[in-house]
Amino acid sequence: MPVARILFPIALPEPFDYAVPDGMDVVAGSYVMAPLGKTVRNAVVWEVVGDEVGEGRTLKAVEHVYDTPPMSAAMRKFIDFTARYTVAAPGAVLAMALRARGGLQPSPRETVYTLTGQTPDRMTEARARALDAAQALCPASASAIAQEAGTSSAVVTGLAKAGALEVKRVDIDAVFAPPNGEQAGKTLTDEQALAADTLVKSVEAGGFAPFLLDGVTGSGKTEVYFEAIAATLRKDPDAQILILLPEIALTQAVLARFTERFGAPPTPWHSGLSQKERRRSWREAAHGRARIIIGARSALFLPYQKLGLIIVDEEHDGSYKQEDGVVYHARDLAVMRAKLEAAMVILASATPALETVANGESGRYSVLKLSARPGAARLPDIELVDLKRDTPERGKWLSPTLAEAMADRLARGEQSLLFLNRRGYAPLVICKSCGERLKSPGTDSWLTEHRYTGRLVCHVTGYSMARPDKCPLCGAADSLMGVGPGVERVAEEARVLLPDARIEIFSSDTARGGEATRGIVERMEAGEIDILVGTQIVAKGHNFPKLTLVGVIDADTGMKGGDLRAGERTYQLLSQVAGRAGRADDPGTAMIQTFAPESPAMQALLLGDRDGFLAIERENRAMVGMPPFGRLAALILSAPSPEAVDTFAQEIAALAPHGEGIDVFGPAPAPLSVVRGRHRRRFLIQAPRNTDLSAYMASWRKLMKVPSNARISVDIDPYSFV
């Protein structure tokens, strides 16, 4: 009996050996079921070693092999690479690839009914209704037809017996219709055609090739990468194409655009899928039948059979970094995955990350630029509103200049967008009587007032409570006061200013779920909203033709983050928001309120000088050896008491191995020092660029004995410093 080394999708350090019973067809990559402890689990064969179970060795046996085609060698290498790079257990990474219950089984089947065209001998009113319903739903189950017709299922089965309906057994999870790579796209502008040609030639040449597609919003990046997708479809009938998008950008409109361009809907993968949809998408991806898959960051871990092209759209977006469990950056791993698949990868953005730009300049990535918006559309004019001179009234947030511009747009029947990246009414609630700032229980974070729901909410843990009448500390009545602005408060101010305007709020609170989001977007598109007040949710890809004014309420907050990328992120967000104005034929204006109009970031925004901004950023980072000029890792510990976490942190600090040029800073209390009663400490590890920091962290991690009440997390290339 041969021996199979099997990896289970749980956090174990390595694969285990199992015997393969005679006649069972097991190869590297086979999806199998095997006993582990007292249970039997799904797992993947990592390799098949030797033909014989050695003398005196007793191994448990593989119990079952699934019909799903084996996981590709490139995928298994990718899982091993990710585990090593992120200092995670390979099984924990594999678990991310197997997250679709039922995907390994064939599709469940159901009985459906279609019309035969025959009229039954005996016709009743109920039968007539059922036949109408069967025609409308065709094909559908008896219960679905009965429900639609308001009859019993017996009427439907009766019609089948009478020969008026035909019974069929079909798969519940249908195969996705294949996309068409021959369909022509839009006629490209010269600049777009040049970029598209380069991509198409690279597809034809084959092999690993990373690209940065760098073009302002609306310059046609999507149209250009559509050509690369089409070329990949034409070149290889088996190649799969993955498009990664931030979760929030995965709208129906985007999916519809793919459907229109390639004549069939793409295979979706995001958190909004039902279990049935997930299992279908997973199965089709694993069998290699899904050709175009469009998904959020976790779609990178689907076990594709053969990836020909990966596109990471909005590559600078912070949501590509996963912060829980296996901590990874989907953009960086996408490049590695493409390399292992010998595939092409395109990173697209209007505001690429500094890391990506640096990779372009060093020649590691080929850079394609799109500078113009097609047609007449121009980028909006940008004005900085100096809040030191153009000061809003006390307790108000709209400067006279911005308020006037909003009134002007309303009078002209045009739309305005006010941007403030703060949910709720006020980010802080204090007691006027005792000065207490209300905090979330067991967490070092202030409560945000939400007037709309009448609640105080913690944005870190999700805790919420009804707004109390009295101060919980001193008991004073009517003494609680919201401090600072949130989108609800700015909307309130706009309502007082322009009572006739139709004003709505767009944030993750008002747009829970796709339905509500679509509702707001559609009302805005239809011109049924005059003023939209929103958080960063408004910055993404929506096209509002009558939007000619964007007002940024407070450009300075984001800058104060104190983390390495605060400036860069603010620049990206603000230029994206500003880019929402005037996408149609009207150029529009973006007014940015700031106390620091002379700062380099604001000046760069004013001049549209992204490269100038990046040049300053990179100089700052190069000076202190920060990424991409040096490497960073973080180690985060937590325990139920400050004493426990401090003792543990000191033990760990003493174990840090020596590494050439590696500096270990900490332990220090994390900025979010308590969350849900757990006390947190951080180490920051800095190393020269060419250091294998993952190997260093793994060797350190091996020395640590983690007490049962403590938790530890390694974050290579950290983006969050809280």
Binding region for ligand ADP (CB under 6 A)? 186-189, 192, 215, 217-223, 374
Give the whole-angstrom CA distance, residue 496 versus residue 550. 19
Q: In whole angstroms, how close is the CB of 217 to ligand ADP at the nearest point?
A: 5
Q: In the complex, what is the shortest distance from the CB of residue 204 to ligand ADP, in angstroms, rounded to a whole number?
A: 22
CB of 372 to ligand ADP, least distance (A): 10
As beta bridge partners, residue 34 has 41
Minimal distance in Å, beta carbon 220 to ligand ADP?
Answer: 3
Minimum distance from CB of 216 to ligand ADP (Å)? Answer: 7
Nearer to ligand ADP, 218 or 630 (CB): 218
Least Å from the CB of residue 219 to ligand ADP? 4
Q: Percentages helix, strand, coil for the chain, rounded to the nearest 5? A: 35, 25, 40
Do the Cβ atoms of 329 and 320 come closer than 8 Å?
Answer: yes
Residue (93 or 350) nearer to ligand ADP, CB: 350
CB of 371 to ligand ADP, least distance (A): 11
d(CA 65, CA 141): 32
Half-sphere exposure of 389 (CA within 13 A, CB side): 6
Closest approach, Cβ 263 to ligand ADP, in A, equals: 16
- Looking at the Cβ atoms of 189 and 359, the one nearer to ligand ADP is 189
In the complex, the smallest distance separating the C-beta of residue 177 from ligand ADP, rounded to whole angstroms, is 23
**CA distances (Å), origin 495, targets 462, 489, 505:** 29, 10, 12
Of 315 and 717, nearer to ligand ADP (C-beta) is 315
Give the torsion sign (CA, 323, 324, 328, 330). Answer: negative
Compare residues 164 and 195 and give the one whose CB is closer to ligand ADP: 195
Nearest approach, Cβ of 374 to ligand ADP (angstroms)?
Answer: 4
**Shortest distance, position 246 Cβ to ligand ADP, whole Å:** 13
| Contact indicator for 720, 675 with CB cutoff of 8 Å | no
Q: Could you give the 3-state DSSP secondary structure of residue 422?
A: coil
CB 164 within 8 Å of CB 119: yes
DSSP-derived letter for residue 684 is E
Residue 348 beta carbon to ligand ADP: minimum distance, rounded to whole angstroms: 7
- Which residue from 679, 606, 617, 673 is spatially nearest to 648, judged by alpha carbons? 679
Alpha helices in 162-287 (DSSP H): 190-205, 221-235, 252-262, 275-287
Residue 284 or 317 with smaller CB distance to ligand ADP: 317
Tell me whether the omega of the peptide bond preceding residue 108 falls within 30 degrees of 0, making it cis: no
Q: Which is nearer to ligand ADP, 29 or 215 (CB)?
A: 215
Distance CA 295, CA 398 (A): 38
- CA 522 from chain centre, in angstroms, equals 22
CB of 443 to ligand ADP, least distance (A): 39
Strands 16-19 and 3-7, by their bridges, are antiparallel
By beta-carbon proximity to ligand ADP, the closer residue of 220 and 667 is 220
**Residue with smaller CB distance to ligand ADP, 542 or 679:** 542
Before 667, cis peptide (omega within 30)? Answer: yes
Q: What is the spatial distance between Cα 564 and Cα 286, in angstroms, rounded to a whole number?
A: 39
Q: Output 261 or 680, the one with its CB closest to ligand ADP.
A: 261
If the CB atoms of residues 220 and 482 are measured against ligand ADP, the closer one turns out to be 220
Tokens 């202030």 -> residue: 446
Between strands 31-36 and 209-215, the pairing is unpaired
322 three-state secondary structure:
strand
Contact 554, 485 (CB under 8 A): yes
The residue type of 696 is: Y
Q: Residue 223 or 509: which CB sits closer to ligand ADP?
A: 223
**CB-wise, 371 or 708, nearer to ligand ADP?**
371
Of 532, 536, 574, the closest CA to residue 552 belongs to: 574
Nearer to ligand ADP, 181 or 220 (CB): 220
Provide, rounded to whole angstroms, the least separation between the CB of residue 262 and ligand ADP.
14
DSSP symbols for 689-718: TT--HHHHHHHHHHH----TT-EEEEEES-
CA atoms within 13 A on the CB side of 621: 25
Structure-token pair, residue 182: 């021959």
Asked if residues 134 and 156 have their Cβ atoms less than 8 Å apart, the reply is yes
